[in-house]
Structure 1
C-alpha cells in the first residue's frame, strides 16, 4: 500500500497551497531518489525532472533546481555568483530544508533559501519536482517554480 502522508510532504503541500496552488502530489510504491528513476516511474523525459540540489555558496545553503538531463557545473556557477560552491552535507540539507536528500522539494523549508532555477527546465511544458519525500513528486512549470521559490532563472552549466 502506498503511503499518502508524511510531515515533510504535508509542509510542502501547505507551502504550495500558500502560493495558491492545489498540488497533485503523486506517491510512488518505490523511492525515486534520482532523476532517471523518477522519469522512468512517470514515463517522461529525464530533462523534465526538476532536481532539487542543495549546495553551499561561501558556507550558506543554496538550492539549485536543475534539469535531470544535466549536471551543475559548480566551478563555473560559483565564478558567475562570485563565490565558491560546494556540496552540502546531509546534515546541512536536512537543517536547511527540513527534508532529506532524495526527496528535497523546492518549497516547504523552515526558512527561505536562495534558489536558482535552471533555465533548461523552461523547455518543458510540465516539470516534476520532489514533494518532500523520496516517494513523492508533483507537477509544476518553470514559471511556477520561479514564482513559488522566489528563484533566480539561470544557466547552471556553460
Structure 2
C-alpha cells in the first residue's frame, strides 16, 4: 500500500487518518497538496477537480448539549443552517478551540472520520452526483479520494439536503399579469 511508503512524509494528524483508512481497508492513499487546501477552491485547484467534488467538513455546535455537528457538504454548496437545525436541533458557531477539542483536527483539515468526540453527522446528498470526491485527511495539506457511497459507509451519516438554495434577486423574478 502506498500509505506505508509515505508514512514518514505525513504529518502526525494525517498519518492518524492514513492508519484509520488502512484499518477500514480503504485502497486510496492520503495525498499531500503542495499548498494548503483550507478552502474547497484551494483544494480543488491543487487536485485539478471541480470545487463541487470537494467533501468539506463543516462543524457546528448543537446548543442543547454542546455536541459537535459535522456536515459533510459538497464544496460548491453553502450549508443552510436552518435545514441542518431542523434535523439536529438549534445550532451555534463552533470556534477553532471547540473544533480542535471535539474533532482532534484543526480547521481546514477536519477529516470526516476519527473524531475525538463522535459528532452528530449529515452527508450532503449532492456529493452522490460525482464518481469520486476528496475529503480532508486531518491536516490542511492532506486529502484522500473516495466515493460518496464509501464516505457514507465510513461515517454512517444520514444523507440529507443541506444546501442553501440561492434566492433570486427580486428584479429577476418574472411578474404575473
Q: TM-score, normalised by structure 1?
A: 0.92
**Structure 2 partner of 1:110:** 116
- One of 67, 70, 87 as aligned partner of 1:63: 70
Shift of 1:7: 1.6
- Select between 107-116 and 85-94 the one with higher mean Cα deviation: 107-116
Q: SS of the counterpart of 2:134? A: strand
Q: Does 1:36 align with 2:41?
A: yes
Question: C-alpha distance in 2, partners of 1:76/1:119?
Answer: 13
**Structure 1 partner of 2:82:** 75
Larger Rg: 2
Q: SS of the counterpart of 2:9? A: coil
**Structure 2 partner of 1:51:** 56
Flag structure 1 segments of 5+ consecutive residues without an equivalent: none
CA gap 1:88/1:9 in 2 versus in 1, 3 angstroms: same
Q: How many residues align?
A: 155
2:60 touches 2:94 (CA, 8 Å); kept in 1? yes
Greater RCO, 1 or 2 (C-alpha within 8 Å, sep 6+):
1
1:47 touches 1:69 (CA, 8 Å); kept in 2? yes
Shift of 1:103: 0.7
CA gap 1:18/1:113 in 2 versus in 1, 3 angstroms: farther
Q: TM-score, normalised by structure 2?
A: 0.82
Flag structure 2 segments of 5+ consecutive residues without an equivalent: 1-7, 166-177
Give 1:1-158 correspondences, 5 Å limit.
4-58=9-63, 59-81=66-88, 83-157=89-163
2:34 touches 2:46 (CA, 8 Å); kept in 1? no
